[in-house]
Structure 1
Amino acid sequence: MSTVLELKNATKYIDNGLNERKVILNHVNLKINQGEFVTVLGGNGAGKSTLFNSIAGTVALSEGDLFINEQNITAYSEEKRASYLSRVFQDPKMGTAPRMTVAENLLLALHRGKRRGLKLRKINEERALFTKICSEVGNGLENHLDTPTGNLSGGQRQALSLLMATLTKPELLLLDEHTAALDPKTSKQLMLLTEQRVKEGELTCLMITHRMEDALHYGNRLIVLQKGQIIKDLNKEEKEKLTLQDLLLFFEEEAEEISIE
C-alpha cells in the first residue's frame, strides 16, 4: 500500500522573545496510506489546526519535512500544494465564491488545476452531472444550481464545499471540523454524505472532529493529539473496540474541551 502523506519530525514553534519558545507541533511523525480515512481528535491547543495548516502550506514548519507520494513538498507554496490537496473548512463561508452560482462553483471545481474559461455553454453541458451529484445531498441543493452561493443555508453551502472538494479526486482530502458550525441534524446529514463521497471516490482523508461519536463511527483509523504530539494512533481493529469512555480517558483534564454530541 502506497504512502500518500508523510510527516517526518514535523515541528512548529513560535519564539515569543526573552528566550521563550512555544512548541505547537512537537516532532510529529505520521504516515497516511492510500485509502485511509483518519479521524483526528484533540483538545484546544493540541495542534490539530496547525497540523492541517502545515500540510496545506498556510503555516511553514520550523523543522522537519513533508512528503506527498514520496515527493518532498516542504518548500512548496500553498498554491502549489493545492494541486494535491482539497480542504473543507469549519466556516461554511470558506471554500465557495458567494456571488457565483452553485453551478459556477461546481464548474470551477471540475476544472481545478486546468486551463479554463467560465462560459454558460460549458455549465449547460455539465448541468446533468451537477444536478445528479447535488440530488445525492438530500437537502434540495439540486434546486439551486442557479442560486448565488451566498444565498444558501449553512448546511447547503457546506455540502457544496464538500462536493467541490471531491468532484475531482484529490491526493488528500482535509476535513477541518467541517460539521462544527452546523446543527446536529444537518451535521449528521453532512457526515453521511462525507462517508459516501470518501467511499465512492476511494479517497485518502484526514478529518478533524470535535464530536467523539463521529470519531468512533467514521473512518478506519484514529489519531489523538495532545500538546503537539500524537499520543494515540489506532488502526481499524483497535478503533472498533473503543468506547466513548475510553476516549475521555485519553484526554483527562482536556476531556471537558471536547463536546459529546
Structure 2
Amino acid sequence: MTQRALVTGGDAGIGRTLALAFADNGYDVGFTYLTPSTHVDSLVVDVAKRGHKAFGFQSDAGDAGAVTQLYVDVENAMGGAPDVLVNNAGIQTWSPLLDLDVADFDRVIRTNLRGCFLNTQIAAKHMIAAGKQGAIINLGSGCNKLGFPNLSDYTASKGGIEQFTKASAMELGPYGIRVNCVAPGAIATDRTADETEGYAEKWSALTPLRRVGTPQDMAGPVVFLASDAAAFVTGQTLYVDGGVFSSAPWPQEY
C-alpha cells in the first residue's frame, strides 16, 4: 500500500526537495503552500514523473481553523491520514533585538512554532483515529543550539521547536507516533543567498566539511527518520550542518 507524506511549506526551497525525496521513496505526497504560484503546478508534475501522486493544499500553518480543515482535505484527496508529517513551513525576519518590531516577532512565532504545534496536534489526532503508527519530523536550525545575532525571534521559534519535539515524542510515543527534529546548518537556498553577499564562501570557511549544504543534503536524513530504519528513534534532534555547530571557536593560527 502506498504511504502518504505531507510536507508543510513544500512548494519551494527545502520543502520542495523533501517532497520530491518522498516521491522517490514510494510515497504519494501532499504539500501546503501559502500563496499560489507556478511552483505548485510544477511540483505536482515533477512528482507525477516519479510515478506518484501529489496534492497541493493552500493553508496557513499558524491558523487553527485552516489547519483543522487541511487534514480533512488531506484525507478526502489522498484517501486517508498522512503516514508522515514534515513541519517545514517557516519564515524569518532579520533585525537587531532592540529594533525588532513586535508584529514581526509575533508573525515568526505564529508561523514557525504555533504552526508546528497545530500541525503536529491535528495530524496526530488523524493518525491515531486511523490506527497509524506515523512519523513527524520538525525542521529546526542551528538556532536550536546557539544564539544568532539579528535572529532573536527566529532563534526563539526554533529553540521552542526542539523542546516541543521532545515533549511531543513523550506524549505520542504510546500511540506509536515518533517525533524527531532535523536541524540544518548553512544551506544554500534562494532565501539564504539574500542574507549576505558571498553566503556560501563565508559559511564554507567555518564549516568542517568546507562547503555549505544543499536542500538535497536534508533529504536523506528526513526520509531516514520517517522510515522503519528509524523505528526506535524518537525525541531526537539530528544536526545536518557539516559539523559547523559542533565546532568550538578556535584561533586560525594556534
TM-score after normalising by structure 2? 0.32
Whichever structure has more strand as a proportion of its residues is: 1
Q: Decide which structure has greater helix share.
A: 2
Higher relative contact order (CA 8 A, sep 6+): 1
User: Over alpha carbons, which structure has the higher Rg?
Assistant: 1
